[in-house]
Structure 1
Amino acid sequence: MKHSRGWGPLLGLVVLSLTWGYSWVAAKEGLGFAGPLHFAAQRSVLGGLALLALLPLTGRPWRWQFPKETLVIGLVQVSGFMLFQTWALVTGGPGKTAVLIFTMPIWTLLLSGLVLRESVKGAQWIAAGLTLAGLIFIIEPWEMHTSLISKCLGLMAALCWAIGTLLVKRLRQRHVLDLLNLTAWQMALGAIPLVCAALLIPERAMHWTWTYGGILAFMALGSTALCWWLWLYILDRVPAWEASLSVLGTPVVAILSSRWMTGESFHRSEVGGIFLIGSGLAFLAFIGWLNSRRAGRFSPESGRAE
């Protein structure tokens, strides 16, 4: 695929990082009006409807591609991710939860051997080691009085996201598919178990206000529909390693906005852990840049270096 340059992808990355980053604070505020199951279900339903409505607006067909695979991806990447992410935010701070969940690229790397038969190579182990060391400092297993359950739930959400990412990648290796169509249908299908759980499991009464309506609208239209469309727009125009830089910006925005809006504090060990995780993700992006440069120096058509 030929990647185009310009201000569009850069502006998209900025909007994506700011919107996704602040969405963690908005989600935390939304939980003050509804229980985690109801909030996760409503976000997913509205987000799925918004993405389905986006299909005809972008000239894409409604047709449901690869039903079986889409259902499995929806159960993992939407049902599982939304449930664990929202549950983690009940007792966990938005900034810390965002950092834990955005370790997803490292789990994708480590799990790729099981799903894609791709082993971790060379310098990738350094990125993985830095990130895993950072996780130890954030989770603080030696401080059992901390919100250990919330941190474990955040890691479960990251694992669901990573597994879903690998399943999408494997599906793309085998078939030609439209990513926005897949995203819309997996969101719609993944919302069904969340709706069932919200209807069957008792939770505290919801408190409907204009503020809560605004939060839901932001999460569905902004954080879900707009940001997923921006993500696909960026992937179509810049190399994957460059697009992954948005992963670095999002938790930074989440930490700063959480500190400003909710007064979330961080211990020294947690700050060190955040630094190590950020270093690991940055190093992983750097490896992707190096591989992209090496691939660009060789022309398969001519069989010689360019």
Structure 2
Amino acid sequence: MTTASTSRRAALVALALITLIWSYNWIVMKQVLRYSGPFEFSALRYTLGTGVLFGVLLLRRESLRPPPLLQTALIGLAQTMGFQALVQWALVEGGAGKTALLAYAMPFWVVLLAWLLLGERPGLRLWAGLGIAACGLVLVLEPWLGLGGARSSLLAIAGGACWAIGVVLSKRLFQRGNVSALSLTAWQMLIGSLGLIVVALVAHERAIEWSDFFIGALAYNAVLSSGLAWLMWSYVVARLPADIAGLSSLVIPIAGIGFAWVLLGERPSLLEGAGILLIGMALAIVNLRRAPAKAS
């Protein structure tokens, strides 16, 4: 097995673990709003997550020197502050399953930005997967019935666009070399967390109700969702093309819909189920490996 195929396989395993952590976390993020405002919870989870990542940096004895600061700051403001603040705000009025799907329109933004900024021109197979996934999302959202809560929908879509900016900027930084996934994740999260703290202070939200559930949700987010999962996501972005990494992540909201169905009673309709199947087909097309060329 070649080094490239081993690296790809490791990235796909990391993506599977991210799927479990992040898909279930949409349920956690929705339920935690009973105990806290959206911005204060976001600031707390990412501040603690940042501490976890810097602790790992110290344990691994890696340099604490930040990556190129301007680019890292842009990634943090888009991927951590922008994405998290917008989607958590969207969950105040929107359902967990549909908010997840709207936020995960991110891959469509990634394909466009990767083409414009990285020169990763989509091939026929990628365009096919993109088209099928787009049809699937339309069936899931059923726009002819109205999205229900226009503000929530727009916030979730804007959050996905912010995440896409972070993905493409991270990919460009990795391509230039000498940047570790752990260092970039920790520093961009630190900058994004400072932004979230400012937003939380300005928003003047209600006082936090410190319950066992809230503390457990905060721990889950700090260690797994904001710490470990974002580290693995940087690893995935560094080792897979940005457009493929983005489209592959569509499996996360599909799993999120499943959790929302079982745990929150957000049962998908027949059309939503058909849309989920189409998105699954798109994932298979995008990740289908080409057969090796035969020697002549």
Aligned match for 1:90, one of 60, 83, 92? 92
Q: 2:40, 2:200 within 8 Å by CA — same for their partners in 1? A: yes
| Cα distance in structure 1, aligned partners of 2:277 and 2:76 | 32
Distance 1:60 1:246, change over 3 A: farther
Give the drift of 1:143: 2.3
**Which residue identity is paired with 1:112?**
A
Give the drift of 1:283: 2.0
Distance 1:80 1:235, change over 3 A: closer
Structure 2: 5+ residue runs without aligned partners?
A: none
Task: String of CA shifts for 1:79-129, please: whole Å, max 9, x gaps.
Answer: 111011111222222222223333433321122222223333323222221
Q: Which moved more, 1:174-183 or 1:146-155?
A: 146-155
- Which residue of structure 2 lines up, in the alignment, with residue 151 of structure 1? 153
Structure 1: 5+ residue runs without aligned partners?
A: 299-304
Matches within 5 A, 1:24-173: 24-144=26-146, 146-173=148-175
Give the drift of 1:36: 1.0
| Cα distance in structure 1, aligned partners of 2:30 and 2:145 | 24
Task: String of CA shifts for 1:179-226, please: whole Å, max 9, x gaps.
Answer: 110011101101112111111122233211122011001001011222
Aligned match for 1:273, one of 261, 264, 275? 275
Q: Which moved more, 1:246-255 or 1:55-64?
A: 246-255
| Cα distance in structure 2, aligned partners of 1:65 and 1:239 | 20
| Cα distance in structure 2, aligned partners of 1:45 and 1:113 | 33
| Cα distance in structure 1, aligned partners of 2:114 and 2:245 | 19
Q: Which moved more, 1:185-194 or 1:119-128?
A: 119-128
| Cα distance in structure 2, aligned partners of 1:149 and 1:266 | 21
- Which residue of structure 1 lines up, in the alignment, with residue 209 of structure 2? 207
| Cα distance in structure 1, aligned partners of 2:123 and 2:201 | 46
Secondary structure of 2:266's partner? coil
Distance 1:242 1:116, change over 3 A: closer
| Cα distance in structure 2, aligned partners of 1:244 and 1:151 | 20
Give the drift of 1:245: 8.9
Give the drift of 1:264: 1.1
Distance 1:174 1:11, change over 3 A: closer
- Which residue of structure 1 lines up, in the alignment, with residue 287 of structure 2? 285
Give the drift of 1:229: 3.7
TM-score between both structures, scaled by the size of structure 2? 0.86
Give the drift of 1:43: 1.5
Distance 1:284 1:229, change over 3 A: same
TM-score between both structures, scaled by the size of structure 1? 0.83
Identity %: 36
Task: String of CA shifts for 1:118-164, please: whole Å, max 9, x gaps.
Answer: 33332322222122222333333322362333222222222111111
| Cα distance in structure 2, aligned partners of 1:228 and 1:125 | 27
CA RMSD between the two structures: 3.0
Secondary structure of 1:123's partner? helix
Aligned match for 2:20, one of 5, 18, 21? 18
How many residue pairs end up in the alignment? 293
Give the drift of 1:75: 0.6
**Which residue identity is paired with 1:264?**
E
**Which residue identity is paired with 2:58?**
P
